[in-house]
Amino acid sequence: MRPFVNFLSTVSWSPDGAAIAFSGYRRTRQVDNDPEPIYELFTVGADGRGLKPIAGTEDAIAPVFSPDGRTLAFTRQIYRDSKTRVGGRVWRDGFDGTSVWTVDLPTGRQRQLTPWRDGVNFAASSFSPDGATLLATHEDERLLSQAEPVALAVDGSGSRRLFEDGSLPVYSPDGTEIAMIRRVVEYGREGGESSDLYVIRADGTGLRRLTRTPGLYELYPAWDPSGERLAYARLAFGDEREAFGLGGALMQVNADGSCATKVSSSPRAAIFALAWQPGPGRGAGRIAC
């Protein structure tokens, strides 16, 4: 049975660009008297052939290939309104949280990198080029859901905060920089909330703002394999239709913030997570403007 794709989840290309990992579901279960999709991970060839489920990845979204193609990192999510058991503990008032895991594709062995905590979310987004570090977004309800980018040691030895706020961090191809999204609040008569694209050095210093779009939301940055430009989604959450991504735009910008241009948009198309196909000869270089 072919799965239904989880279109709200990110996807990931294998390092050679020959396969894609994604989240989808083939079956449901009853939770709190309602049917709930059981999401799991799959890989499929770039030509659409060779679909394979990844055993033991129930409740998994947002897969991320490691640089050697041997490992998938993913985010495991659990949302329950009633008493449930998570992480060996009974949560009497329900549970709402996510945790980051890895699975070794040849053996199926899994490792949990972040703990289960109610009201705390970790979401994986990018491996370092050497495969030793995994970038993720951390959110905690006790911190008013302020998102912050963190670096997780893949061997499970710990984590560190990269910057005071930001989300969806992704390494540049050479690992020297990290692109991320930051929430922006403008005050005054024309004020409002939006989000823009930023870049920092891999050590968390040298913040640079690449876009400035009041009233719009930049999301899901993806580096061109050359490291000279980024693609990203631009959304406007002004009405119910736009809340589902309809009318959004596929954008691109040079890594220095110049030449932001629209690649594609349609009032009938939903644009969410982006993934630039890696591999030799697929680098687009700088945008000429």
Q: Are residues 246 and 141 in the same domain?
A: no
Tell me: pLDDT of 52 over 50: yes
Q: Are residues 194 and 156 in the same domain?
A: no
Q: Looking at 128, 161, 194, which one is the last position of a domain?
A: 161
pLDDT at 163: 92
Tell me the residue range of the domain where 73 lies: 1-161
Q: What is the CATH number of the domain that holds 129?
A: 2.120.10.30
Q: Are residues 204 and 151 in the same domain?
A: no
Q: Please, is 230 exposed, middle or buried when counting C-beta atoms within 10 Å of its C-beta (0-12, 13-18, 19+)?
A: buried
Q: Are residues 157 and 172 in the same domain?
A: no
* Cα three-residue angle 54-29-101, rounded to 5 degrees: 35
Which ranges of the chain does DSSP label H, i.e. alpha helix? 240-243
Q: Are residues 41 and 149 in the same domain?
A: yes
Give me the mean pLDDT over the 80-102 stretch.
Answer: 94
Q: What is the pLDDT of residues 160-186, one digit of tens each?
A: 999 989 999 999 999 999 999 999 876
pLDDT-based confidence at residue 248 (cuts at 50, 70, 90)? confident
Q: Looking at 132, 161, 190, which one is the last position of a domain?
A: 161
Three-state secondary structure call for residue 17: coil
DSSP string, the chain: -PPEE-TTS--EE-TTSSEEEEEEEEEEEEETTEEEEEEEEEEEETTS---EE-TT-TTEEEEEE-TTSSEEEEEEEEEESS-EEETTEEETT-EEEEEEEEEETTT--EEE-S---TTEEEEEEEE-TTSSEEEEEEEEGGGTT--EEEEEETTSS-EEE-SSS-EEEEE-TTSSEEEEEEEEEE-STT-EEEEEEEEEETTS---EE----TT-EEEEEEE-TTSSEEEEEEE--SSHHHHTTBT-EEEEEETTS---EEEEE-TT-B--------STT----PPP-
Q: Are residues 23 and 136 in the same domain?
A: yes
Tell me: pLDDT of 188 over 60: no
Tell me: pLDDT of 111 over 60: yes
pLDDT-based confidence at residue 241 (cuts at 50, 70, 90)? very low
Q: Are residues 155 and 216 in the same domain?
A: no
pLDDT-based confidence at residue 1 (cuts at 50, 70, 90)? confident
- Among the listed residues 71, 73, 72, 91, the one whose alpha carbon sits nearest the alpha carbon of residue 82: 91
Residues 6+ apart with CB under 8 A from 244: 270
pLDDT at 243: 52
Q: Looking at 105, 137, 161, which one is the last position of a domain?
A: 161
pLDDT at 184: 87
Q: What is the pLDDT of residues 214-240, one digit of tens each?
A: 888 999 999 999 999 999 999 876 544
Domain count across the chain: 2
Q: Are residues 156 and 220 in the same domain?
A: no
Q: Are residues 97 and 195 in the same domain?
A: no
Q: Are residues 148 and 175 in the same domain?
A: no
pLDDT at 265: 86
pLDDT at 185: 78
Q: Are residues 52 and 78 in the same domain?
A: yes
Q: Are residues 202 and 280 in the same domain?
A: yes
